[in-house]
A and B are shown apart, each in its own frame.
Chain A
């Protein structure tokens, strides 16, 4: 389904990245079982737009660097068009017809520049599975007119050779990392460094946007929360002073009591029987 969507987008020649984020099954209400959550990310510099979905204006004067949504859209096919603010939908600067929105997914539609600088729309399916306790998910998407890049955290490459319009992701320890983007295999910094606060139990999606040639490379971030897990346990005592229930000696005592009672009773009974 994801592939079908990509093909359609490619056919439409769109250069914007819109993200449709699907709701996790656990948090979805039954009424929307076949719906998806869809976010829209604007990654084309200097180009505010109006966004039309199926001919209806859905976002007015949507600015570069902004993230809209999530919208809850029933499963189905959608026509998406971007126009200059105030212009009619038939003068769209970017258009995707019959973009397929699968059911129960979390999707981001990114409006962005292709590697060679043309506007296009790329749909990404967001990984909204739970992260482990203490962890955060980092997803990086190359949606900039730039060559392959490496993403570094604390100076060390975490994702290497990422190309437009691909993503890389990892679940990492929650916390703040100093991240930058360098040209693949080099130390030439293209974006950053920037402090990334990766909040526990969330997915932080970072889009590299803009154009290397125009020197307006930048980052846009989208956060999806509610992906946390509970700790595996709460170990909070090793002393045994507060122990309830009974120890081994209790069973010995109770067992001895039963034996004495039954044994004694039997002897009394046999003695009485003998006298008769």
Chain B
């Protein structure tokens, strides 16, 4: 065997080693597979709740309401979230929309999460209660929902309402979507079965734009 040949064989060995490392890294970097996607979709398409109660007069089929000015809603905001399987306890703030970006106003402090105050509260008998939190931030490090993608079907957690009541939920689905493809209408629906939706970021990270490509969505139902 010539020296030249030995060099070539060494190069091949190095090539195999490099590809092996690359393959291992690629496998380790794969996101966990989606679970329960069908169930999450079915919850959203469930029959909407009946129209608000009204006092029928005359023809029983025609609801009549006093035309009083609409009063403040009585939604029960979640104030604390406890997710034992991923060791999360976070306070929940009511948040809305960032007027500049038209996006969900996730609380800037990464150890807090935000409840979408325009959607259903914990008392609602229909629709999706949405709580979103940071997976991490460049300045503050890991966020409350850093390990959200580790939640699995059957895991349970507790949301405490402003009324002091604890409500237990059971995870039925965990999905990952490219942000450009996520069906947000489904997760921000105000009809369909009552459910609680947890959202954070995930997937590949682009260090130039400092954004993740994907959203991680966990759907839970009252346990």
Question: Quick one: which of A235, A244, A246 contacts B103, CB cutoff 8 A?
Answer: A235
Question: Does the CB pair B63–A263 fall under 8 Å?
Answer: no
**Complex-state Cα separation, A194 to B22, whole angstroms:** 67
Question: Does the CB pair A244–B15 fall under 8 Å?
Answer: no
Query: Residue on A with the closest CB to B101?
Result: A232
Question: Quick check: is A58 within 8 A (CB to CB) of the other chain?
Answer: yes
How many of chain A's residues have a CB under 8 angstroms from any CB in B? 76
For B213, what are the chain A residues with a Cβ–Cβ distance below 8 Å? 245
Q: Which of A188-216 contact B (CB under 8 A)?
A: 194-202, 204, 206-207
Total A-B residue pairs with C-beta atoms closer than 8 Å? 262
**Complex-state Cα separation, A174 to B207, whole angstroms:** 36
Residues 1-24 of chain B, each 1 if its beta carbon lies under 8 Å from chain A, else 0: 010110111111111111101100
Question: Quick check: is B187 within 8 A (CB to CB) of the other chain?
Answer: yes
For B64, what are the chain A residues with a Cβ–Cβ distance below 8 Å? 59, 62, 66-68
Q: What's the least CB distance linking B42 to chain A, in Å?
A: 19
- Interface segment among A117-125, A158-166, A265-273: the answer is A265-273
Question: Quick one: which of B70, B103, B146 contacts A234, CB cutoff 8 A?
Answer: B103
Question: Does the CB pair B25–A258 fall under 8 Å?
Answer: no
Question: Quick check: is B106 within 8 A (CB to CB) of the other chain?
Answer: yes
Question: Quick check: is A28 within 8 A (CB to CB) of the other chain?
Answer: no
Known A61-B57, A260-B15, A271-B5; judge A234-B118 contact (CB<8 A).
no
Q: Which of A57, A243, A267 neighbours the largest number of chain B CB atoms within 10 Å of its CB?
A: A243
Question: Quick check: is A60 within 8 A (CB to CB) of the other chain?
Answer: yes
**Complex-state Cα separation, A264 to B29, whole angstroms:** 29
Q: What's the least CB distance linking A261 to chain B, in Å?
A: 3
- Across chains A and B, which 4 residue pairs bring their CB atoms closest together, nearest first? A60-B58, A257-B18, A243-B205, A260-B15
